[in-house]
Amino acid sequence: MSAPRPFNLIAELTYRCPLRCTYCSNPLDWAQVRDGLSADDWGRVFREAAQLGVLHVGLTGGEPSVRTDLPAIVAHAAQAELYAHLVTAGTPLDRVGLEALAEAGLRSVQLSLQDTIPDESDAVAGGTFFARKLAFAAWVRELGLPLTLNVVLQRRNLARVTDVIEMAAKLGAHRLELANVQLHGWALENRAALLPTREQLDDAAAAVHACRERHPDLEILFVLPDWFAGRPKPCMGGWGRSHAVVAPDGSVLPCHGARALPLEFWSIRDRSFAECWGDAPGMNAYRGEDWMPDPCRSCDERTRDFGGCRCQAFALTGDAANTDPACSLAPHHDVLVAARNAAGAEPTEAVHREVR
């Protein structure tokens, strides 16, 4: 089959990060994956991706600004005419560094925030970062760059959703992603500590609804998480369909977590981006609809949710080709319900991301 056109490149420049968030979706063995691509290598990836039709590049990680060659990487993205978007925790990048990125052609910034209460935010991040993040948000706006604020919602901060929205408005964000915690990587390990209750989610949804009118200029994203919605999420807009992830070691993946699956992906260190995207066996494993089992294959939702998340199917059922257990129609839905009930029954303390 001919590969679909990728529109969005997610460039994971490194898995290193000064933060140790309990909800991190990086792989558990992140420390074993080295930064295998130089700035010039990234430049080649950007040019080849642009030729294939990519418009946006998200520079992410880990924390991308731990790379001292980040300005050169941004310049490569701009030269390839990609819309360069930085996904950052706001540290260690300082104001001068941010200015250098803007000069190199950075277009927009997404900043993570863990909570509105400084101690709570720092407790999730595993260090003292909160005050720095607020300063960073102000620098972004001073430089005239559009600011997206991303707040991962979980059991400990869901009650403060209104405060989060007010803070986003005050910081001048144009978009707020209220990202209900996705249970991948470290977050899956910590699910008993992170998983909210249904009641918390309903309250949060009502609070978001009430706030939307007050802030018509702030785009607020809030989606009921798949563990509670009974419907799978349209993960990455479909496997290998519009989003390409390039991991720190050069592997081209359909999503952040796919390296954990028993599939063969290719690296741009060995091949062109077009080959890695279009021809790697792993990329083609779940493209389109031919791979779908029942009930997906005959379901009207398949063109909207694309069968949900393969990594979740693998993590919970041991087979990535199974219907995503988040779906209430899935044969393994009871596995997810049991995991949800178990997590809800005995909340535990989350462990911070560490070297394993």
Partner 1 sequence: MSAQLEARLRQVLAERYHDKHPFNVRMHEGTLSREEIQTWVRNRYYYQTRIPLKDSVILTKSGDPAFRREWVQRIHDHDGVAPGEGGLERWLDLAEVVGLERAEVESLAGVLPGVRAACDDYVRLVEERELLEAVASSLTEIGAAEIMKVRLVAFEKHYPWVGERGLAYFRGRVEQAPRDAGWGLAWVLSHARSAEDADRCVAALEKKCEILWRLLDAVEYAHRTPRLSKAAQRRPDPQDGRATVVLPERAVRLNASGEEILDLCDGDHTADAIGRELGGRHPEIAGVVPDVHAFLADMERLGVLESSPSAKSQAPEASEERAT
Complex with partner 1: residue 166 or 203, whichever CB lies closer:
166
Complex with partner 1: residue 101 or 188, whichever CB lies closer:
101
Three-class secondary structure of residue 67 per DSSP: coil
Tokens of 128: 């003292």
Closest distance between partner 1 and the C-beta of residue 294, in Å? 35
Complex with partner 1: residue 84 or 252, whichever CB lies closer:
84
Sign of CA dihedral 54, 269, 76, 34: positive
Closest distance between partner 1 and the C-beta of residue 278, in Å? 14
Residue type, 208: V
Instruction: Please report how the helices 95-104 and 130-142 are oriented relative to each other, as an axis angle in degrees rounded to 10.
Output: 40
Closest distance between partner 1 and the C-beta of residue 54, in Å? 8
Give the DSSP H/E element, type plus range, for residue 47.
helix 39-52
**Which string of b and e fits 252-291 if b means at least 16 CB within 10 Å?**
bbbbbbbbbbebebbbbeeebbbbbbbebebbbbbbeeeb
Closest distance between partner 1 and the C-beta of residue 221, in Å? 9
Interface ranges with partner 1 (CB under 8 A):
5, 7, 50-56, 81, 83, 85, 107-108, 144-146, 148, 174-175
Closest distance between partner 1 and the C-beta of residue 146, in Å? 4
Angle (nearest 5°) at CA 242 between 301 and 35: 130
Complex with partner 1: residue 155 or 256, whichever CB lies closer:
256
Complex with partner 1: residue 5 or 356, whichever CB lies closer:
5
Complex with partner 1: residue 53 or 92, whichever CB lies closer:
53
Closest distance between partner 1 and the C-beta of residue 207, in Å? 20
Kindly give, in sequence order, each residue whose CB lies less than 8 Å from that of residue 338, ignoring residues fewer than 6 positions away: none
